[in-house]
């Protein structure tokens, strides 16, 4: 056996924001025990503070909440709050970690989170979570849905801790005896095999920039304060008002790049997320007001470079009427008219200086590295960059300078939630790679209480109606709905809940099930699509079958959409609750099904993403089939010569190809395509054009993308006009065309951000800047022009943009309705562009015109795979993930994942990271011994079935067959998706769907 | 008398029900006359459901998927 | 006719004697003229009772579902179409069925005879090919066969069995496409007119379900009408809306499966014009999907097959 005795099958995850939570869940599901260490008293990080998330406008708390609960409940994730890592010693596979755990003064196991203590506590403290916009008490819970759902004492403010006899009111009211003011700080020592650092970020301290007036002018606030203003669980319950005087603002300005792209302040990088969150805040603010709200965003370059971001920007501008002002802001001052309003003095692009008054000014704060990490990094010898972000070695995605220690999220550079989540899964994958042989050695298995047999019992339904803060309760009269529910047949118990999804409510539901002998549970709250599994878990923990649960959506489909009609919304909520109760009476327990699974993986696409994914899976001990359509591996990266940070890509690629070819776990097939696919997660059967049939358990799609072949700017007609990929080889070969050039022009957004492809190709700005610098390096006397719409050198690439300007590269902005014109000349081409500063056309005789051509998906391949694996594409033909924010590499179809350019434009580093993320996610499936099917499948009443075979004919999953001898339909539960097409086709009602029977649905209809 | 019809909507969990959720997230206001029945797929809509809804007093039936 | 009857007898006898089949389903003389009755011959002797005449109107496919052993059937065109449809629905095992196909140019509708004779009883019928002599106490009336055939037989284009193992008689020339004139006329009516007609027609319905029992395709173990969990529709004949609903759903259930044999209408004791509804669906399925029930063993079930080029007129396109 190769198992080294000293390897530890556990991973330390530092920081419990969304990255820490995702990494922990991935690892725990993949067979590793996780210690999740969090500085604050609750997990969640920044996401719970945000109101909505771009580009889907999902409520941040709502999408996070199920993950919080899942992480909090997970048997193999040990959450250690109020704690910080003091030291990490050892080597990959075996680290000794020292943790300083601060005394919480409240035992989280005893505390029920009832809040009586906080009601009694006499000490008011600024509420940090709400950015100091209101007060909390010295004993507090970080936020309503916090996990652990337990209070904590602010030891710096508690009276009793200062003077033991001074207070103690909390002790008097705590029924659970959870409070102990004598609790001591502790030092914990843990053994782990790998470490993932995801301490997140801090927001920029804006008091350094006096000219924005923050702290001086009451109506200049930060973007994070604005998030809390918008939030329904924020200090003003989601009512949009100025925090200083409570007035409703009519005009709000957002100032971008506050503490970003500012080298005078050692913040020369772009914070990457501010453009999008400012747009989001403006759009959401407009939704909040009943009156027309004027919103203006003052910006330098609009950096909406992520997937679907550009469309969001377009919508904000064209549909929501958000004003975008390209400008430089000089200062914000008082209007000096006793209104408290602010005056913004700024310069337009053409240099004119203008002032405009606003009721409220929001500063879009940049992201800073967490200050606490500098000391730890120093101790560990962890390399940080000049801004004190973690320096990740080139093309590792999530590596650090210390082997065995990985990084995810904003600690290695500012990034948004999906990228953070992606990195978290990637770090999970990399951190598990060295631990493959000790997988499963430290994990525990979950045991539920024995399921109660409810057969034959009288129906006793418990109904829980959620206020969702004010999201529901602000419109629907919840107490009235509760009272109504109590009158309905079978209802044994009905109650209202502030947040039905919080940990304490879950405990209360379990208690009610016990106390009232409930055998059906109905929750009326938000969408079952997001929250049903969480409540079902609660039922299981209470010993009830998960399918004795019914949920109805009185928020997204009621209170939120009938805001002006509270009475009718209440009537509708009653109807919906009644329907759910009627259906619930007919619910029956459904047992899951367990099936064998294949533990091999199929990776489609042999580019860098596909190869990286294959190697990642192999390292974890899984067998991989890597198939590539073309004759050789490497994909589009074969056409690249330099990485974004100057890496030598040809040798990187050849090393990668050699590694994958040498890997005994990986079977590479080139020159083949997929011709047919059968089966489902754990049991796929994919047929190749070679005739080979590959049985596999999971699929990773990494089909890549290609460079758009322009039809504009004389491309293909004039030898001086070329795409960036074509220019790259000239640069690499130091071609005389480059070294002898007088004028080199780069044209941005060729085929991107237009009507046909309304997306940003993300990497072209950086690539053009990189190539412009290369031209300057090879030929310092050349004039280099970059014609752009917005320069989108996000993150640390901004440094490169600055370097280019310093070295004399000339950036000329053009607008979409006045594009540059390229005309053929004798030896050169004439490029005419209207400069926005001067306002007059400039003519350049260019020797080289480099077109930053769009990244376009391979629509044919993608649509074929889309049908084969039943996974969706977006409008542009890229694959569409299960959730834009929190499931960036997953599909709705189990066992199918994606990575790389097939998902959308991104640079090599990001593709590598995403490939590792796909591995991290795939391993959560492959680590399972067998496949468990939920069991909500079709079932046949053999007594009724005549065996006519119509169900067989209509089943899209090929899950039903008529038994030749018995002449009745038989369902393969593993294949059945539960769509119910069979049940709708069956004339006599012999086939039905568990959890959605004819009878149950008619009961709902009859309830009306 | 003002017309206040009751409309039963059969919405597919994966698309139109999600769409209705999205309408909520987008705070798109629409009349509160609709009562949604969530189904696993539009394929689950047995024609008899539509007939039953009408028989039980629905003024209209919306199927979407 | 007599010649065919003799051949049927012979064929059946031979099958039973050779033990090729255990049972021959055919017709025997009924107690009255023009009243062929379904007959089950299990021995060569019993086969002697088999016959063939203008009264063999019943659809014998009804008696062939899920039979044990080898069975032969004396089948005219409509019977065979139903047999084909039922075979595809796993109700008949073609390998165990021997089809004695008999081309059929129509069966006589006794209601038409009754009308012609003003209610006088027929005691003897002489088949003369295109004409038929109806004899009774003190009368003998010669009538054109075409005037006495069932409407379904007049509309029928598949008098020749589409599938058979043995053919008795000679195949007939193909008929022209039918025009569904009465359906088109019905469709041309206003909604109100159609509703008025249906209400009138289905106020007669007594919910005896004879239509359902006569229909070879109505073989559900439990009909949706009888289902009480959930109760899809009311069971009382007093509610005309429910009566219409029953028939409408029954007809929808037979869409793409109904061979238009007319058994339902013949069985209706209240004289409801049921074929108006069944044929509306026959026409729609033909027009929309270019499909006809039971005319080929290879065709897939029209309503359970999705093709990308299926017309979808119900989708509103912008």
Local confidence band at C317 (pLDDT 50, 70, 90 cut-offs): very low
pLDDT digit string, tens, across residues C18-35: 999 999 999 999 988 888
C177–chain B nearest CA distance, Å: 32
**To the nearest whole angstrom, how far is the Cα of B11 from the nearest Cα of chain A?**
12
Q: Quote the domain boundaries for residue B20.
A: 7-64
User: What secondary structure, in 3-state letters, does A379-438 show?
Assistant: HHCCCECCCCCECCCCCCCCECCCCCEEECHHHHCCCCHHHHHHHHHHHHHHHHHCCHHH
Q: Band the pLDDT of B19: cuts 50, 70, 90.
A: confident
Structure tokens at A576: 């919906």
Which residue stretches of C53-173 are H helix? Answer: 77-88, 110-116, 145-148, 151-155
A435 domain residue, yes or no: yes
What is the tally of structural domains in chain A? 7
Interval A837-856 mean pLDDT: 94
HSE-CB at C148 with a 13 A cutoff on CA atoms is 25
Interface test with B, best of A58, A979, A991 (most B CBs within 10 A): A979
Count of CB atoms situated within 10 Å of the CB of A175: 10
- Which of the four pLDDT bands, split at 50, 70 and 90, describes residue A119? confident
Q: Rounded to 5 degrees, what are φ and ψ at A601?
A: -120, 150
User: Could you report the predicted ipTM of this complex, rounded to two decimals?
Assistant: 0.97
Do A41 and A189 reside in the same domain of the chain? yes
For A675-688, how does the pLDDT look when each residue is reduced to its tens digit (9 = 90+)? 999 888 899 999 99
pLDDT at A5 over 90: no
Asked whether the beta carbons of residue B37 and residue A1001 sit closer than 8 angstroms, the reply is yes
Considering only A58-62, A156-160, A601-605, C118-122, which range has the smallest mean pLDDT? A58-62
Look at residues A144, A109, A236, A42 and name the one whose alpha carbon lies nearest to residue A501: A144
Q: Sorting pLDDT into bands at 50, 70 and 90, what band is B2? A: low
In this predicted structure, the answer to whether residue A473 has a pLDDT above a threshold of 80 is yes
Give residue B26's pLDDT: 67
**What number is the average pLDDT over the span A535-551?**
95
Q: List, for residues C280-307, the tens digit of each pLDDT value.
A: 999 999 998 899 999 999 988 888 887 7
Stretch 7-26 of chain B: residues touching chain A, C-beta under 8 Å: 8, 13-14, 17-18, 20-26
Peptide bond just before A148 cis, omega within 30 deg: yes
Q: Are residues A111 and A90 in the same domain?
A: no
Domain assignment present for A11 = no
The answer as to whether A453 is a domain residue is no
**Residue A73 confidence (pLDDT):** 79
Among A174-188, A692-706, C91-105, C303-317, name the one with the lowest average pLDDT. C303-317
Question: For the residues C46-64, what does the mean pLDDT come to?
Answer: 95
| Minimal C-alpha gap between B48 and chain C (Å) | 7
Q: What is the mean pLDDT of residues A154-181?
A: 91
pLDDT tens-digit map of C208-222: 999 999 999 999 999
Are residues A130 and A50 part of one domain?
no
CB pairs under 8 A between A and B: 120
Domain count, chain B: 1
Q: Inform me whether the pLDDT recorded for A490 exceeds 90.
A: yes
- For residues A889 and A823, what is the distance between their CA atoms, to the nearest angstrom? 43
The answer to whether B55 contacts C230, with C-beta atoms less than 8 Å apart, is: no
Q: What is the pLDDT of residue A445?
A: 86
pLDDT given for residue B3 in this prediction: 77
| Residue B41 touches chain A, beta carbons under 8 Å | yes
Both tokens of A431, joined, read 């951190």
CATH number at residue A980: 3.30.70.20
Q: Do A714 and A842 lie in a common domain?
A: yes
Sign of CA dihedral A299, A302, A303, A304: positive
- Tokens 């995801």 locate to A198
Structure tokens of C186? 């019905």
With vertex at residue A946, the alpha carbon angle to CA A945 and CA A950, rounded to the nearest 5 degrees, is 90
Same structural domain, A641 and A541: no
Beta bridge partners of A686: A677, A694
Query: Are the Cβ atoms of B46 and A1006 closer than 8 angstroms?
Result: no
Query: Mean pLDDT, chain A, as a whole number?
Result: 94
Which of B22, B26, B44, B60 is the best mutation test for A, with the most CBs of A within 10 A? B44
Q: Write the DSSP assignment of C149-171 as a string of letters.
A: B-HHHHH-S--S-SS-SEE-S-P
Q: Tokens 């039918």, residue? A: C178
Whether A456 maps to a domain, the answer reads no
Partner A contacted by B56 (CB < 8 A): yes
Surface-to-core class of residue C30, CB atoms within 10 Å of its CB (0-12 exposed, 13-18 middle, 19+ buried) = middle
User: DSSP character for A422?
Assistant: H
Mark whether A354 and A211 lie in a shared domain: yes
DSSP alpha helices (H): ranges in A257-307? 274-288
Contact B41 A56 (CB under 8 A): no
Res. B15: pLDDT tops 80: no
Domain that holds residue A966: 936-1006
pLDDT at A725 over 50: yes
C-alpha to C-alpha distance for A645 and A879, rounded to whole angstroms: 28
d(CA A384, CA A390): 4
* Residue C69 in this model has a pLDDT that exceeds 90: yes
Q: How many Å apart are CA A418 and CA A886, to the nearest integer?
A: 6
pLDDT number for residue C311: 76
Which stretches of chain C sit within 8 Å of chain B by CB?
A: 224, 230, 232-233, 245, 249, 252
CATH number of the structural domain spanning residue A176? 3.30.70
Is A590 within a domain? no
With contact defined as beta carbons under 8 Å apart, do C267 and C214 qualify?
yes
Question: Are the Cβ atoms of C249 and B51 closer than 8 angstroms?
Answer: yes
Report whether A101 contacts A60 (CB < 8 A): no
Q: How far apart are CA C58 and CA C54, in angstroms?
A: 11
For position A834, what pLDDT does the model report?
93
How far apart, in whole angstroms, are the C-alpha atoms of residue A610 and residue A631? 15
Q: b/e map of C175-195 (b: 16 or more CB within 10 Å)?
A: eeebebeebeebeeeeeeeee
Q: Is the peptide bond before A735 cis (omega within 30 degrees of 0)?
A: no
In this structure, the answer to whether residues A363 and A246 fall within a common structural domain is yes
- Report the phi/psi class of residue A276: left, alpha or beta, with left for phi > 0 and alpha for psi in -120 to 50: alpha
Would you place residue C318 in the very low, low, confident or very high pLDDT band (cuts 50, 70, 90)? very low
Assigned domain for B29 exists: yes
What number of helices (H) and strands (E) belong to chain A? 25, 51
Neighbouring CB atoms inside 10 A of C69's CB total 8
Q: What is the tens place of the pLDDT at every residue in A585-594?
A: 999 999 888 8
Domain limit, last residue, from A856, A890, A907: A856
Are A83 and A191 in a shared domain?
Answer: yes
In a domain, A520, yes or no: yes
Q: Which chain B residues have a beta carbon less than 8 Å from that of A892?
A: 14
| Angle between helices A18-29 and A60-73 in degrees, nearest 10 | 40
Which of the four pLDDT bands, split at 50, 70 and 90, describes residue A1? Answer: very low
Are the Cβ atoms of A979 and B36 closer than 8 angstroms?
Answer: no
Has residue A253 been placed in a domain? yes
CB within 8 Å: A999 and C229:
yes
**Domain end among A368, A395, A426:** A368
Show residues of chain A in contact with B37, CB under 8 Å. 579, 1001, 1004-1005
DSSP-assigned beta bridge partners for residue A642:
A648
What is the model's pLDDT at position A784? 97
DSSP per residue over C237-302, as a string?
Answer: TT-HHHHHHHHHHHHHHTTTT-----HHHHH-TT---THHHHHHHHHHHHHHH---TTS-SSPPPG
In the predicted structure, residue C62 carries a pLDDT above the cut 80 = yes
Chain B CB within 8 Å of residue A999 CB? no
Both A712 and A851 in one domain: the answer is: yes
Token output for A921:
């996610």
pLDDT-derived band at A238 (thresholds 50, 70, 90) equals: confident
Residue A471 located in a structural domain:
yes
Place of tokens 């019809």: B5
A362 and A426, same structural domain?
no
What is the separation, in whole angstroms, between the first and last Cα of chain A? Answer: 66
Average pLDDT over residues B2-10: 89
Residue A517 has pLDDT above 80, yes or no: yes
Do A749 and A818 touch, CB atoms closer than 8 A?
no
Q: Is residue B2 part of a domain?
A: no
Has residue B11 been placed in a domain? yes
**Is residue A618 domain-shared with residue A762, that is, in the same domain?**
no
Calpha distance A33→A80 (Å, rounded): 13
Query: Would an 8 Å CB–CB cutoff place A325 in contact with chain C?
Result: no
- The token pair at A846 is 């260019």
Would the CB atoms of A989 and C300 count as touching at under 8 Å? no
Chains that touch B (3 or more CB pairs under 8 A): A, C
Point out the domain boundary residue: A349, A368, A387: A368
Compute φ and ψ for A590, nearest 5 degrees.
-125, 130
pLDDT digits (tens, 9 = 90+) for A327-380: 999 999 999 999 999 999 999 998 999 999 999 999 999 999 999 999 999 999
Residue A338: which CATH number?
A: 3.50.50.60
pLDDT of residue C83: 97
Say whether both A680 and A730 belong to one domain: no
Q: Bigger pLDDT: A241 or C303?
A: A241
**A966 contact partners, CB below 8 Å, separation of at least 6:** A942, A947
């Amino acid at each position: 056996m190769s198992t080294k005795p000293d390897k530890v099958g556990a991973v330390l995850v530092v920081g419990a924001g969304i990255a820490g939570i995702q990494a922990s869940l991935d690892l725990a599901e993949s067979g590793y025990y996780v210690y999740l260490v969090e500085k604050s008293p609750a997990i969640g990080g920044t996401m719970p503070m945000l109101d909505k998330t771009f580009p889907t406008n999902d409520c941040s708390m709502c999408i996070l909440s199920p993950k919080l609960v899942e992480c909090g409940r997970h048997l193999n994730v040990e959450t250690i709050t109020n704690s910080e890592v003091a030291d990490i010693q050892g080597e990959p596979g075996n680290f000794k970690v020292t943790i300083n755990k601060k005394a919480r003064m409240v035992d989280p196991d005893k505390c029920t989170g009832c809040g009586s203590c906080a009601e009694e506590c006499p000490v008011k403290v600024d509420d940090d979570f709400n950015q100091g916009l209101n007060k909390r008490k010295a004993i507090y819970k970080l936020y309503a849905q916090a996990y652990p759902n337990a209070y904590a004492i602010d030891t710096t403010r508690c009276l009793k801790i200062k003077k033991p006899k001074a207070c103690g009111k909390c002790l008097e009211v705590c029924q659970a005896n959870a409070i102990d003011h004598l609790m001591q700080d502790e030092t914990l020592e843990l053994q782990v095999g790998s470490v993932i650092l995801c301490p997140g970020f801090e927001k920029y301290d804006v008091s350094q920039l006096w000219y924005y007036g923050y702290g001086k002018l009451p109506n200049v606030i930060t973007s994070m304060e604005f998030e809390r203003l918008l939030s329904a669980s924020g200090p003003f319950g989601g009512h949009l008002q100025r925090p200083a005087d409570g007035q409703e603002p009519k005009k709000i300005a957002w100032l971008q790049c506050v503490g970003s792209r500012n080298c005078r302040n050692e913040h020369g990088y772009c914070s990457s997320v501010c453009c999008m969150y400012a747009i989001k805040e403006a759009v959401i603010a407009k939704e909040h007001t009943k009156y027309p709200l004027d919103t203006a965003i003052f910006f330098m370059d609009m950096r909406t470079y992520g997937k679907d971001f550009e469309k969001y920007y377009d919508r904000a501008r064209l549909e929501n009427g958000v004003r975008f002002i390209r400008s430089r802001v000089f200062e914000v001052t008082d209007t000096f008219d006793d209104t408290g309003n602010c005056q913004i003095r700024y310069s337009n692009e053409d240099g004119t200086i203008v002032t405009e008054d606003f009721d409220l000014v929001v500063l879009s704060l940049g992201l800073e590295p967490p200050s606490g990490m500098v000391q730890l990094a120093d101790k560990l010898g962890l390399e940080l960059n000049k801004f004190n972000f973690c320096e990740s070695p080139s093309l590792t995605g999530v590596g650090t300078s210390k082997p065995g220690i990985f990084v995810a999220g904003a600690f290695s550079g500012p990034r948004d939630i999906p990228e953070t989540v992606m990195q978290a899964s990637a770090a999970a994958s990399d951190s598990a790679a060295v631990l493959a042989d000790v997988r499963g050695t430290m994990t525990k298995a979950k045991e539920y209480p024995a399921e109660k047999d409810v057969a034959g019992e009288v129906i006793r339904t418990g109904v829980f109606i959620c206020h969702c803060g004010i999201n529901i309760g602000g419109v629907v009269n919840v107490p009235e709905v509760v009272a109504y529910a109590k009158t309905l047949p079978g209802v044994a118990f009905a109650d209202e809940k502030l947040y039905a999804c919080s940990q304490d409510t879950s405990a209360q539901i379990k208690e009610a099930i016990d106390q009232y002998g409930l055998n059906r549970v109905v929750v009326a709250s938000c969408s079952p699509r997001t929250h049903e599994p969480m409540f079902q878990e609660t039922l299981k923990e209470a010993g009830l079958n998960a399918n004795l649960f019914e949920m109805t959506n009185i928020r997204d489909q009621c209170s939120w959409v009938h805001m002006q009609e509270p009475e009718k919304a209440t009537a509708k909520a009653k109807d919906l609750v009644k329907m759910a109760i009627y259906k619930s009476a007919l619910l029956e327990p459904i047992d899951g099904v367990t099936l064998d699974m294949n533990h091999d993986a199929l990776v489609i696409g042999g580019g860098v993403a596909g190869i990286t994914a294959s190697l990642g899976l192999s390292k974890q001990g899984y067998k991989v089939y890597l198939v590539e359509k073309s004759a050789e591996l490497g994909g589009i990266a074969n056409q690249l010569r330099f990485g974004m940070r100057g890496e030598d890509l040809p040798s990187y690629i050849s090393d990668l190809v050699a590694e994958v070819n040498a890997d005994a776990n990986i079977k590479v097939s080139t020159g083949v395509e997929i011709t047919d696919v059968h089966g489902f997660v754990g049991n796929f059967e994919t047929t190749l054009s070679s005739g080979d049939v590959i049985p596999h358990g999971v699929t990773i799609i990494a089909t890549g993308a290609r460079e758009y072949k322009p039809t504009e700017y004389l491309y293909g007609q004039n030898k001086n006009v070329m795409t960036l990929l074509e220019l790259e080889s000239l640069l690499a070969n130091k071609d005389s065309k480059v070294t002898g050039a007088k004028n080199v022009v780069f044209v941005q957004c060729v085929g991107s951000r237009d009507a046909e492809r309304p997306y940003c190709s993300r990497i072209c700005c950086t690539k053009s800047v990189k190539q412009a610098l290369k031209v300057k390096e090879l030929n310092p006397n050349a004039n280099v022009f970059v014609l752009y719409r917005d320069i989108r050198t996000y993150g640390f690439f901004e440094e490169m943009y600055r370097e280019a300007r310093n070295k004399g590269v000339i950036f000329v902005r053009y607008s979409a309705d006045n594009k540059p014109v390229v005309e053929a000349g004798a030896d050169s081409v004439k490029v005419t562009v209207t400069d926005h500063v001067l306002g007059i056309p400039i003519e350049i005789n260019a020797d080289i015109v480099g077109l930053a051509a769009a990244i376009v998906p391979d629509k044919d391949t993608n649509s074929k795979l889309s049908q084969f694996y039943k996974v969706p594409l977006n409008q542009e033909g890229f694959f569409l993930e299960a959730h834009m924010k929190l499931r960036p590499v997953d599909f709705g179809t189990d066992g199918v994942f994606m990575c790389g350019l097939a998902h959308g434009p991104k640079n090599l580093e990001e593709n590598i990271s995403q490939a590792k993320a796909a591995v991290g996610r795939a391993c959560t499936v492959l680590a399972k011994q067998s496949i468990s099917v939920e069991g909500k499948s079709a079932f046949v009443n053999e007594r009724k079935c005549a065996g006519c075979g119509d169900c067989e004919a209509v089943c899209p999953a090929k899950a039903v067959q008529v038994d030749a001898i018995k002449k009745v339909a038989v369902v393969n539960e593993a294949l059945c998706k539960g769509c119910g097409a069979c049940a709708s086709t069956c004339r006599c009602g012999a086939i039905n769907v568990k959890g959605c029977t004819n009878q149950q649905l008619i009961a709902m209809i009859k309830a009306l | 008398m003002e017309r206040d019809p009751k409309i039963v909507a059969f919405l597919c969990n994966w698309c139109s029900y999600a769409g209705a959720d999205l309408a909520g997230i987008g705070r798109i206001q629409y009349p509160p006359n609709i009562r949604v029945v969530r189904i696993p797929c539009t394929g689950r809509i047995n024609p008899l459901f539509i007939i039953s809804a009408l028989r039980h007093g629905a003024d209209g039936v919306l199927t979407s998927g | 006719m007599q010649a065919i009857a003799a051949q049927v007898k012979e064929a059946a006898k031979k099958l039973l004697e050779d033990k090729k089949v255990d049972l021959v389903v055919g017709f025997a003389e009924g107690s009255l003229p023009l009243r062929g009755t379904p007959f089950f011959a299990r021995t060569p002797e019993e086969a002697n009772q088999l016959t063939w005449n203008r009264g063999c109107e019943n659809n014998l496919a009804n008696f062939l579902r899920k039979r044990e052993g080898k069975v032969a059937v004396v089948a005219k065109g409509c019977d065979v179409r139903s047999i084909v449809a039922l075979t595809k629905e796993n109700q008949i095992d073609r390998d165990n069925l021997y089809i004695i196909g008999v081309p059929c140019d129509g069966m006589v509708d006794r209601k038409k005879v009754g009308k012609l004779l003003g209610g006088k009883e027929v005691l003897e019928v002489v088949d003369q090919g295109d004409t038929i002599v109806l004899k009774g106490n003190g009368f003998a009336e010669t009538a054109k066969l075409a005037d006495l055939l069932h409407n379904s037989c007049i509309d029928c284009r598949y008098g020749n069995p589409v599938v058979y193992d043995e053919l008795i008689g000679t195949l007939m020339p193909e008929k022209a496409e039918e025009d569904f004139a009465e359906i088109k006329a019905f469709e041309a009516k206003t909604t109100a007119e159609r509703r008025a007609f249906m209400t009138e027609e289905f106020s007669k319905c007594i919910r005896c379900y004879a239509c359902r029992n006569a229909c070879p395709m109505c073989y559900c173990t439990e009909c949706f009408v009888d289902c009480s969990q959930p109760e899809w529709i009311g069971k009382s004949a007093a509610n005309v809306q429910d009566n219409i609903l029953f028939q409408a759903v029954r007809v929808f259930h037979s869409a793409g499966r109904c061979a238009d044999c007319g058994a339902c209408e013949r069985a209706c004791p209240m004289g409801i014009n049921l074929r108006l509804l069944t044929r509306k669906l026959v026409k729609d399925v033909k027009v929309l999907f270019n499909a006809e029930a039971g005319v080929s063993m290879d065709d897939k079930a029209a309503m359970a097959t999705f093709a990308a080029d299926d017309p979808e007129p119900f989708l509103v396109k912008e």
